[in-house]
Structure 1
Amino acid sequence: MGRFINPFTDWGFKQIFGREITKDLLISFLNDLFDGKHHVTDLTFLDKEQLPEAKDMRGVVYDIYCKTADGKNVIVEMQNRYQEYFLDRSLFYAARSVVGQSQKGLWDYSLVPVYTICFMNYGEGKDTPHKFRTDVALTDIDSGELFSDKLHFIYLMLPLFKKEEEECENDFERWIYVLNNMNTFDRMPFLAKNAVFKKLAEIADVNTLTQAEKEKYDESLKIMRDAYATYKTAKNIGREEGVREGRAQGIKEGIKAGRAEECRGMAIKMKQNGLDIMLISQITGLSEEEINQLN
């Protein structure tokens, strides 16, 4: 175990990016992420729990939800394990942020942009991106031009970032390298490159945590490890059950096919003997259309 906390635990992630005292770290990361396309000067943390508009609707709880000084809504999510519909979930979360902008009374439907940034700390799944960074926006299909600036998604597949310390060319890459490896470090790299990594080292140093913070971190670390162990076990069991179910299903399909062929044979004989189509259908379970197609 290294000197610094694991940033991918729920507590560790919010310790680094989700507090008023450390919001300059989040601002620095966002500016490096946006790479000059947008510049965040300040931000305000919003209520992470968004209650549903009706009792039968589902609320959402964001990992980090904030508004920049120029009015953009920013959602930051950390996902440690594969979830089949995680991309759909990110769309749902963004949509809730859009719907939450509605106003009572007269309103012209003017919206502020919503940016959803997803750290995806796993490397498998049929519907996950196959490159480290994927930027998504509403564009015209034919021209590729931006159609609306109100919805943006940035997906970061962390295991697909393969650069080593000396290969990182800018502060964004340095951020990703540090987050990917921080819990193994005995020293924080890049201290001479950017003062933000010095503050990160101070915030994330396990030795500087209070006893209460240490207990919260240990509990969060245990939850992450237990969840991973449960996921691995379920995955292995699912693979074994899949093999058994596949064999059983093959047997069932064979029996089903045999019975269906037998019913078609009976139907042909009854049809040759002039029995009514509706009666044949009742006896064999075949549809009238199937019977009419039999020769």
Structure 2
Amino acid sequence: MRYLDPKADLTFKKVFGEHPDLVISLLNALLPFEKPEEEIAEIEYLTPELMPETPLKKNSIVDVRCKDKMGRQFLVEMQMLWSPAFMQRVLFNASKAYVRQLGGRESKYELLQPVYSLNLVNDIFLPDVPEAYHDYKIVQVEHTDKVIEGLRFIFVELPKFKPQDFKGKKMAVLWLRYLTEIDEHTRQAPKELLENPEICKAVTQIEESAFSDAQLWWYDDFWDAVRVENTLISDALREGMEQGIQQGIQQGIQQGIQQGMQQGMQKGIEQGLQEGRQEGLEKGIQQGIRQGNIQNARGMKSEGIPAEIIAKITGLTRDEVEKL
């Protein structure tokens, strides 16, 4: 048996955008519902296209958008590559879905229902945080138990997923294993996944034989686009790093020269003043300046600056610089 990767645009929308029972199972498994009565029992699919307020703004399209009988809305996104703009788009989409609930002048704010945004990210965007699951909500800074209800954002970094981090959440583990363990190289789906009816159905939906030749072409085209985007991001990061290194080296040299000159001048003046007390103020200052030039020359020489340039800057001869 050959399978397609469930994270691809074609397969993800087929599994979760065409089968209400599967998206309900996914949402109940990964959303932070604290009570059984909060879980979703039935959903209605909504158009994934969030229309703009004005014709000057572009539409925004999510992978799956639905609501339950209570009117709560759920936005589900599968993101292959991370960018800071994605989080802003998630905030925009959820806010727009929340505001759109007020249809006319008679609408009342107290009728607004929560919007949950579930975002599955096949990339790492918080490298300094070990957890894969991130729950965002609007809280008071001083007292985080004080919450403004309405918007809830869940992000899951799929590359960080470890089953042991989801103890007691069997369905969450099964769904995340489904998304991370099955791809084009899979010939036999894991037994634990096939033993669960919902996951087994989702596995069946991504069998290669279930797709037409045209769909398989779109599938390959999707991965080509992902690879191109990944290359562009990698090239941009590498170019940025190279520029940063060059700027760092230049700044380091400049700072080293300035620091060396300041230290050398200070040391030279101090030494000159000390000698001036013995041999005369004028002679001491001159000697101090010369010592400062010598210290400066040593500092510049240690930075690899050519001797002829050091000589021009400090007034020392080239022989004197080379003997330092």
TM over 0.5: yes
Specify whether residues 168 and 209 from structure 1 end up closer, same or farther in structure 2 by C-alpha distance, changes over 3 A only: farther
Question: 1:95-174 maps to which residues of 2 (within 5 A)?
Answer: 95-109=95-109, 110-124=111-125, 130-163=130-163, 170-174=170-174
The answer to whether 1:29 aligns with 2:31 is no
Structure (1 or 2) with the larger CA radius of gyration = 2
What does the per-residue CA deviation read over 1:189-226, in whole Å, with 9 as the maximum and x for residues that have no partner?
Answer: 22454111221121011133222221221221222222
Matched residues, number: 251
Q: What percentage of residue pairs aligned between the two structures are identical? A: 27
Question: What value does the CA root-mean-square deviation take over the aligned residues?
Answer: 3.0
Deviation at 1:115, TM superposition (A): 0.2
* SS of the residue 1:135 aligns to: strand
Do the aligned partners of 1:28 and 1:196 also contact (CA within 8 Å) in 2?
yes
Counterpart residue number, 1:286: none
Unaligned runs of 5+ in 2: 258-324
Q: How much has 1:173 moved relative to structure 2?
A: 0.7
**The residue matched to 1:104 in structure 2 has which SS?**
coil
Residues 125 and 242 of structure 1: CA distance in aligned 2, closer, same or farther (over 3 Å): farther
Please give the per-residue CA displacement for 1:28-54, whole angstroms capped at 9, x wherever unaligned.
Answer: 111222466432222122122222212
Gaps of 5+ in 1: 256-295
Name which structure has the greater RCO, CA cutoff 8 Å, separation 6+. 1
Please, which of 231, 234, 241 is the counterpart of residue 233 of structure 2?
Answer: 231
Mapped contact 1:129–1:157 kept (Cα < 8 A): no
- Are 1:13 and 2:15 an aligned pair? no
Q: Any conservation in 2 of the 1:137–1:146 contact (CA below 8 Å)? A: no
Higher helix share: 2
Contact (CA 8 Å) 1:9, 1:224: kept in 2 or not? no
User: Following superposition of structure 1 onto structure 2, how do residues 199-214 of structure 1 map, counting pairs within 5 Å?
Assistant: 199-214=201-216
TM-score (norm. length: structure 1) = 0.74
Change (3 A) 1:53 1:107: same
User: Which residue of 1 is the match for residue 189 of structure 2?
Assistant: 188
| Per-residue CA distance 1:104-134 (angstroms, 9 max, x = gap) | 22222231110011112112457x8652111
Report the Cα offset of residue 234 of structure 1: 2.6
Tell me which residue corresponds to 1:244: 246
One-letter amino acid matched to 2:64: I
TM-score (norm 2): 0.68
